[in-house]
């Protein structure tokens, strides 16, 4: 039985408050399927998008799929009493960034918070709520020394990864860097959530 199946059977999905965040990349269209699956399984999903992500898929798509407002700017405050989105980050059970671009990896690795996605993630206590990254980029970008350094830094900082895989890319080439499919991301998410909750029970 997969982690996703165990989550469904145990009702864990029904109790999960999740943030699904998108950065700029053509793979953003896949994330619509991920959000839909999570909502159908009973999770409460809040979507955050960088300005670049919103150029690939409209925020309205994710508002319709999640049934919740979509965060697209550091300066547009959905909750007037929480302008820094601290409460949103504090109350979440897990975060998924899919697609996670080369630029987002660099921002997270260096602690920058100059878009709504990195701002929200900066306020997440990763000792309590895992942050899962699903990289998506051209093979050459994935193999850059700077990307490899950033990935190593993020792993050491406690970020979780799913993918990338190898396959057909928007650059008309086949290679490593393709974002994992929604089912793979879903499985990885429930796996890291189950592991974190198991650790909390032992503690």
**Phi-psi category of 155—alpha, beta or left, where left has phi over 0 and alpha has psi -120 to 50?**
alpha
Q: What tokens does 31 get?
A: 């994330």
Let me know if 171 is a catalytic residue.
yes
Candidate list 26, 171, 176, 194, residue with the active-site label: 171
Residue whose tokens read 């975060």: 95
- Active site (catalytic) residues: 171
């Amino acid at each position: 039985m997969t982690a996703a199946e165990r989550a469904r059977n145990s009702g864990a999905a029904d109790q999960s408050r999740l943030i699904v965040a998108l950065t700029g990349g053509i793979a953003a269209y896949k994330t619509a399927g991920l959000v839909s699956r999570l909502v159908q399984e009973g999770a409460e999903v809040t979507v955050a998008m960088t300005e670049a992500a919103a150029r690939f898929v409209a925020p309205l798509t994710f508002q319709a799929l999640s049934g919740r407002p979509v965060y697209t700017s550091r300066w547009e405050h959905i909750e007037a009493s929480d302008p820094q989105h601290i409460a949103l980050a504090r109350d979440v059970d897990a975060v998924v960034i899919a697609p996670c671009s080369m630029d987002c990896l660099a921002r997270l690795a260096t602690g920058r918070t100059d878009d709504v996605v990195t701002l929200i993630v900066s306020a997440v206590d990763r000792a309590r709520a895992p942050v899962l990254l699903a990289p998506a980029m051209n093979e050459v970008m994935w193999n850059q020394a700077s990307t490899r350094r950033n990935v190593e830094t993020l792993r050491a900082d406690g970020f979780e990864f799913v993918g990338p895989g190898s396959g057909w890319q928007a650059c008309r080439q086949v290679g490593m860097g393709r974002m994992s499919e929604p089912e793979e991301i879903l499985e990885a998410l429930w796996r890291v959530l189950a592991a974190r909750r198991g650790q909390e029970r032992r503690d």
